[in-house]
C-alpha cells in the first residue's frame, strides 16, 4: 500500500494546498492523518473541507488541538495563552458539518495494516512528545507495530529500534532536506514523524509531509515551499496573536 502521510495541519490552508498539489501526481491508496487539523491557524473550516474533499480512504487520529477545539474543557489548561486563544477562536468559527467530521476522528493509536500504526503524540498518550531516545524506548515497548507514524512535535525525525544478541539500541535522527528517502530495514522497528504541514518547528519554514510504501518499506519526506505570507496575513486579519503568524516565517 502507498500512503500519503499528513500531520499537524493546524488550520493552515496555504500549506495544505501546496502539499496536496505537490503530492497530486504521486500514486496513493490511502491518506494517513496524524492529528491536529485545527488550532493556531486561521483557516480551520477551509482545511477541514479540503480534508473532507480528499476522497478515498483516510485513516486518521485526532490531535490534542482537535480535542481542545471541540471541547475547551478537555486539556486547554495545558496550552499557552496563544494556543488557548486560537483554540477558542477556532471553536467559534467551525461550522457544524466540519465539527461533526472532527468529532468522528478517533483517538489514537490506530492500526493501519499488519505492522503499521499511527498516533498523535505517542502510542501511550496523544499529549506526550517524543523528542529523545529514552522517550522513544517507552513508546516502542508500549506498541507492537513495526512502523509507527506519529506527529505532535512538528519535528521531522525518526527513531530506529534494533535488538540483537540480547541488547537493544535506539537511534534518533532528525530528517532534514527537500527530499529524504529512507529504506527501512525489515528486521528493525521505527517511529517516524513526517513533520508538520502547517506549523513546522525545525527552523525550516517549508511545509512537511511524507509518502510511505509499505510493500517495499520506503518512507520519503518532502518539504514544500508555500505562501507563508498569506497564512500570516490571514492570522493577523482574524485578530489572532501575531506571534502565530510570525513563527511561520521562521519555521519555529
The binding site for Fe ion (CB under 5 A) comprises 8, 36
Q: How far is the CB of 7 from Fe ion (least distance, A)?
A: 8
Nearer to Fe ion, 8 or 135 (CB): 8
Q: How far is the CB of 208 from Fe ion (least distance, A)?
A: 12
Nearer to Fe ion, 146 or 247 (CB): 247
Q: How far is the CB of 82 from Fe ion (least distance, A)?
A: 13
Nearer to Fe ion, 214 or 231 (CB): 231
Residues pairing with 64 in the sheet: none
Nearer to Fe ion, 6 or 158 (CB): 6
Q: How far is the CB of 69 from Fe ion (least distance, A)?
A: 12
In the bound state, the residue with its beta carbon closest to Fe ion is 36
What is the grid cell recorded at 96? Answer: 457544524
Alpha helices, DSSP H, located in 166-241:
228-237
How many C-beta atoms surround the C-beta of residue 250 within 10 A? 12
- The residues near 80 (Cβ < 8 Å, ≥ 6 apart) are none
End-to-end CA distance of the chain: 33
Q: Which pairing describes strands 57-60 and 30-33: parallel, antiparallel, or unpaired? A: parallel
Rounded CA gap, 246 and 252, in Å?
A: 9
Of the candidates 133, 182, 131, 189, the one whose C-alpha atom is nearest the C-alpha of residue 160 is: 189
Rounded CA gap, 8 and 33, in Å?
A: 8
Nearer to Fe ion, 24 or 77 (CB): 77
Amino acid at each position: 500500500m502507498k500512503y500519503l502521510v499528513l500531520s499537524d495541519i493546524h488550520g493552515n490552508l496555504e500549506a495544505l494546498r501546496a502539499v496536496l498539489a505537490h503530492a497530486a501526481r504521486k500514486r496513493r491508496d490511502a491518506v494517513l492523518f496524524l492529528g491536529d487539523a485545527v488550532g493556531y491557524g486561521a483557516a480551520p473550516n477551509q482545511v477541514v473541507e479540503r480534508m473532507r474533499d480528499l476522497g478515498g480512504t483516510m485513516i486518521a487520529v485526532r490531535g490534542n488541538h482537535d480535542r481542545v477545539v471541540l471541547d475547551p474543557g478537555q486539556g486547554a489548561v495545558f496550552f499557552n495563552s496563544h494556543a488557548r486563544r486560537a483554540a477558542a477562536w477556532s471553536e467559534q468559527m467551525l461550522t457544524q458539518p466540519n465539527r461533526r467530521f472532527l468529532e468522528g476522528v478517533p483517538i489514537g493509536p490506530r492500526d493501519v495494516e499488519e505492522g503499521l500504526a499511527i498516533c498523535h503524540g505517542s502510542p501511550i498518550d496523544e499529549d506526550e512528545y517524543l523528542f529523545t531516545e529514552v522517550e522513544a524506548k517507552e513508546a516502542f515497548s508500549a506498541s507492537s507495530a513495526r512502523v509507527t507514524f506519529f506527529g505532535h512535535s512538528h519535528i521531522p525525525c525518526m527513531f530506529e529500534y534494533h535488538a540483537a544478541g540480547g541488547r537493544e539500541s535506539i537511534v534518533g535522527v532528525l530528517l532534514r532536506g527537500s527530499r529524504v528517502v529512507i529504506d527501512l530495514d525489515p528486521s528493525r522497528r521505527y517511529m517516524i514523524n513526517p513533520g508538520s504541514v502547517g506549523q513546522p518547528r525545525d527552523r525550516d519554514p517549508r511545509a512537511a509531509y511524507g509518502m510511505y510504501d509499505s510493500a517495499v518499506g520506503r518512507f520519503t519526506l518532502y518539504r514544500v515551499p508555500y505562501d507563508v505570507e498569506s497564512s500570516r496575513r490571514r492570522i493577523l486579519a482574524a485578530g489572532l496573536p501575531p506571534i502565530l503568524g510570525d513563527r511561520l516565517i521562521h519555521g519555529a
